[in-house]
Amino acid sequence: MTEEPRRETWPLWEVFVRSARGLSHVHAGSLHAPDAELAVRNARDLYTRRSEGVSIWVVPAAAITASDPDAKDAWFESPRGKDFRHATYYTASQAVPHL
Partner 1 sequence: MQNQHQSPSAVLTPEAIAARVAPQDSPARATDDVARYALGLGDDALVLAQRLGSWIAAAPELEEDVALGNIALDTLGHARGLLTYAGSAWDQTEDDLAYFRDEADFRCRQIFERPNGDFACTIARQLVVSAYFTVLYRRLADSADPTLAAIAAKAVKEVEYHLDHATLWTVRLALGTEESRRRMIAGLEAIWPFVDELFAADPAADAVPAAAVAPAGLREPFDALLLPVLDQAELPVPGIAAVRGGGRLGVHSEALGPLLAEMQVLARRHPGAVW
Beta bridge partners of 55: 18
Question: Contact between 42 and partner 1 (CB under 8 A)?
Answer: yes
Q: b/e string for 20-46 if b means 16 or more Cβ within 10 A?
A: eeeeeeeebebbebeeeeebeebbeee
Question: Contact between 29 and partner 1 (CB under 8 A)?
Answer: no
Span from 45-53, 62-70, 79-87, 89-97 in contact with partner 1 (CB under 8 A): 45-53
Question: Contact between 38 and partner 1 (CB under 8 A)?
Answer: yes
- Residue pair 47/29 in contact by the 8 Å Cβ criterion: yes
Cβ neighbours of residue 99 closer than 8 Å, sequence gap 6 or more: 92, 93
Question: Contact between 5 and partner 1 (CB under 8 A)?
Answer: no
One-letter amino acid for residue 40 of the chain? V
Choose which of 26, 27, 36, 41 interacts with partner 1 (CB under 8 A).
41
**Residue number with CB closer to partner 1 (9 or 67):** 9
Please give the residue ranges that form the binding site for partner 1 (CB under 8 A). 9-10, 19-20, 31-35, 37-38, 41-42, 45-46, 49-52, 54
